[in-house]
Structure 1
């Protein structure tokens, strides 16, 4: 067992998973976040453990759809034009990473990261007494017509090559499985590996409670700055509690992580891919699994608090006010395939969160290249919940000198 103290900035799924796996290596852990565990971006995601989603978010075929999406202010992707100059370096890098050779390399890296996703989830949730939060029902993808289905053949082939089976169902078979699906659905396909959790916030809070039970500390405060002495961070400065000495530091601060990395002279391309959700406590339909719809990115997931409709991608920076009309648009999209879906009412809730996205759809996992006692775990984009526990395990392995089961070079901090 390795004994050292680790300070982790960020109490989302990545930060709490890192704390839990480091504890297993005998480390004393302290987690710092201005929000309680699981109440940042981890709170409002679609709940997917989407380990089969190995093809990057943006590829050459997706690029062709982007101009049409950008013309619709409530479409699946929007950019607030006043933010364009700041987003331009990230967007240009996105375009470069959508080329076929890069997509192939990124797919390989994502597939490697997916290898132990489910087992890492089970390790943490079983220890926390919350294994019942995982639902082992594969998500079903729905298509309006044959053209939509055929257009995604390359993604299904990439999955098949890595061992993920995407079984096709006719529209009638999909409705037998999920009677709430309407007659407009032409066919459906199992994703090949996309389970879901019934409450993402409770996932993180359960892990956090286990960390505290095992001697860890969680501090509610905001990290203002990092103080370097030579090539090490000697202390961090908290907004309320002031300076605090650190031994080893892990930055898992989601969409704010690059601001801290910048203090260490590292330029990491990271954007807040702002996502929205709507929760219908009384949805009028019943589902046994999560659904995605090919026409419009997003997912409908049955959860403890109701049916969550989640998705959208908005580029507007960290601080711009939410546009909850984008949450309402999710309801209209899913009403087309779930005709019994009730209209939002006074009990309906809406939310916006900031996904930390990199232009190559890969997270940053590993050591800082400028500072000897700093490690990174952020930039998971749409895959934060899925890759969170695995990221925590990988960081703990790196910090304690254990050999990893995958090549970590695609996730290095200086690749940008």
Structure 2
């Protein structure tokens, strides 16, 4: 029997996970990306395995905060005004998906994706000899005051109802757990399931290296176009290597995925939710876990290379130059709760990445409607690292006709038509 083959476009966490799980199903795989594995958006995320984050980031209560955020050019959310006309349809769809009925349905779908996040990571990392990159300490959320804590009661209740416990700690108890926290921390709560990895880039590279050891190919090249023969994609045109023949094509190209899908006549509402980080190699504080701060979105994560402060959401398109003042603003933000945090020195590094976001806060996972041999796995927004391995598993199950423990209907590509 001939061994089936799959070409995966994208060497981030979703693409390499898809390749690894397809190998488990007997596929011969080739992964193509212009960047080495893990050096795109997967490189600079906050490192969270945030499987308990089942409530979408934008809901009716969160909408009330957005106008104030937009008034601050370095706040957690910004839109470059020249880009506003282009992003407006996406934002309007986001608003429709923040209505209570939609939030309940989206939350249920996100909870389904959470079921096997940790085990899917372990399935890929342990054979690669990289299981030690996962830290199983739950992330702590800290609050300035009681009103701030009570404002999130509904989100905690939803998590608790789904089995994600969010026990409360007093400020003193939080400081016993993490002595670097300041006296202004009024109280804290566990997220109910948000572990972290100490180096997201190494996570992806370790899985990719195992794919190669298992006979797969990682190809550094730029995909220019897709060539069709009838109802199938027959080749992808590469900048350096010319035409590459494909049997089955899996598009996991992050924020660029919709540009490839458009060549197949499919239009996806995908936006680059641009996030930033700053890494402090010598931060002056020690944390045993990730910390989030309720005052404004962001995450402080202890990593191999130092303390990474990550977050913010910027809508400016794919090609606008970075505004690294947004990265520096993360330091100002966390200095409030980590008073000994040292100012960025000359060894601090800054980064911007393009998260692929859909207006319903759910990824696109499933077959193309216009090309019989094309599958999609993209649109994970802020949850790419968390859901990457699970997406790879789901794609492999779908492509081989296996049953799944997840209702895959909410992620179907055709839902935006």
Alignment TM-score > 0.5, same fold: yes
**d(CA) in 1 for partners of 2:275 and 2:117?**
23
Alignment partner, residue 232 of structure 1: 232
Residue in 2 that maps onto 1:383: 383
Could you list the per-position Cα deviations for residues 16-49 of structure 1 after superposition, in whole angstroms to 9, with x for gaps in the alignment? 0000000011100000000000000000000000
Aligned position for 1:63: 63
- The alpha carbon displacement at 1:359 in A equals 0.4
Partner SS state of residue 29, structure 2: strand
User: Corresponding residue for 1:120?
Assistant: 120
Q: How big is the shift at 1:296? A: 0.8
Unpaired runs of at least 5, structure 2: none
Contact 1:2 1:27 in 2 (8 A): no
Shift of 1:398: 0.5
Q: Does 1:347 align with 2:347?
A: yes
Taking structure 1 as the reference length, the TM-score comes to 0.99
Distance in 1, Cα, partners of 2:67 & 2:98: 15
- Deviation at residue 2 of structure 1 after TM alignment: 8.7
Q: CA RMSD in A?
A: 0.8
Residue in 1 that maps onto 2:14: 14
TM-score between both structures, scaled by the size of structure 2: 0.99
Structure 1 segment 318-357 matched on structure 2, within 5 A:
318-357=318-357
Q: For 2:352 and 2:308, how far apart are their aligned partners in 1?
A: 13
Distance in structure 2 (CA, Å) of the matches to 1:191 and 1:393: 25
Correspondence for 2:166: 166
Q: Is the 8 A contact 1:2 1:26 kept in 2?
A: no
CA shift digits 1:295-317 (9 cap, x unpaired) = 11010000000000000000000
1:43 corresponds in structure 2 to 43
| Rounded Cα–Cα distance in structure 2 between residues aligned with 1:355 and 1:402 | 29
1:13-412 → structure 2 map (5 Å cutoff)? 13-412=13-412
Counterpart secondary structure, 1:302: strand
Per the TM alignment, residue 114 of structure 1 is displaced from its structure 2 partner at its CA by: 0.5
Aligned equivalents of 2:123 and 2:353: distance in 1? Answer: 27
SS in 2 for 1:410: helix
* CA drift at 1:3: 3.1
Count of aligned positions: 416
Alpha-carbon distance, 1:229 to partner: 1.3
- In structure 1, stretches of 5+ residues that fail to align are none
| Per-residue deviation, 1:89 | 1.2
Quote the Cα distance in structure 2 between the aligned partners of 1:68 and 1:125. 42
Name the SS for the 1:414 alignment partner: helix
Question: Conserved in 2, the CA contact under 8 Å of 1:2 and 1:400?
Answer: no
Q: Distance in 1 between matches of 2:222 and 2:240?
A: 7
8 Å CA contact retained: 1:42, 1:200: yes
Structure 1 moving runs of 4+ over 2 Å: none
Supply the distance in 1 between the matched residues of 2:378 and 2:49 (Cα, whole angstroms).
17
Contact 1:168 1:189 in 2 (8 A): yes
